[in-house]
Amino acid sequence: MEQFKRFKDEITRFLMMYKFALDSLETKIEILKEEFHFLHDYNPIEHTKSRLKSPESILNKINRKGCDISFPSIRSNIKDIAGLRITCSFVSDIYRIRDMLGNQSDLTILETKDYIQNPKPNGYQSLHLILGVPVYMSDRQERVCVEVQIRTIAMDFWASLEHKIFYKYNETVPPRLLQELKEAADSAAALDKQMERLHHEIAEIKESHMENGGTGTKR
């Protein structure tokens, strides 16, 4: 019983580090968001969502990978214990957010998977970063990994539907649905391109309007 309690305390303390890393990253993002809004009168971040992997899902993943079940092994082999998803309106915002995070002196971008430049065969698109985030505990400083997924609203819409279908069919999705999902991913990418183009056009119109000191036309 004593051993079980000690083990439970260790897991709780271990996961706490990841929770603190997420808390501090979310605070950083909130600050960037507010400052960006103040400077540019525009918000590149629509919303953020964080999650911590459960001990059960950490154990499943470490078993799947065939790695040791120990805290050091879990730390070095599972990089998505803490996950943060950032949703934005435009593809250019995704890279702007990546750069803003990369410019923070205490954060390190340890890994980048660009599924926008290289979408997965099923159509999945997102920018994945593994960030090294410092965590200040009462007796030490640790650096832990946080997986950040940055995507547009259209990419997020697609990924959440695909995720639901994948689980509904217990991972064996009928080929017709896979084909339709791929087509939907292509449509989402086309929509993202069109919205980006419109966004730039509107920004240019706004700029020349400001330069000419004119007044706008109401919708």
* φ/ψ (deg, to 5) at 79: -100, -5
Minimal distance, residue 96 CB to ligand 0O2, in Å: 21
- Which CB, 36 or 185, lies closer to ligand 0O2? 185
- Which CB, 43 or 70, lies closer to ligand 0O2? 70
- Which CB, 85 or 96, lies closer to ligand 0O2? 85
Q: Give 3-state DSSP helix, strand, coil % of the chain, rounded to 5.
A: 55, 20, 25
Chain residues that interact with ligand 0O2, rule: CB under 6 A:
80, 83, 113, 120, 122, 124, 128, 159, 162-163
* Residue among 53, 109, 111, 54 nearest 83 (CA): 53
Angstrom distance (rounded) from CA 90 to CA 95: 10
Minimal distance, residue 134 CB to ligand 0O2, in Å: 22
Tell me how many degrees the CA angle 87-90-93 measures, rounded to the nearest 5. 75
Number of other residues whose CB lies within 10 A of the CB of residue 150 = 25
- Which CB, 96 or 113, lies closer to ligand 0O2? 113
Please identify the residue of the shown chain whose CB is closest to the bound ligand 0O2. Answer: 124
Minimal distance, residue 159 CB to ligand 0O2, in Å: 4
Catalytic site includes residue 147:
yes
Minimal distance, residue 39 CB to ligand 0O2, in Å: 31
Catalytic pick among 147, 180, 204, 211? 147
Give the DSSP per-residue string, 88-154: ESSHHHHHHHHHHHHTSTT-EEEEEEETTTS--TT----EEEEEEEEEE-SS-EEEEEEEEEEEEHH
- The residues carrying an active-site annotation are 147
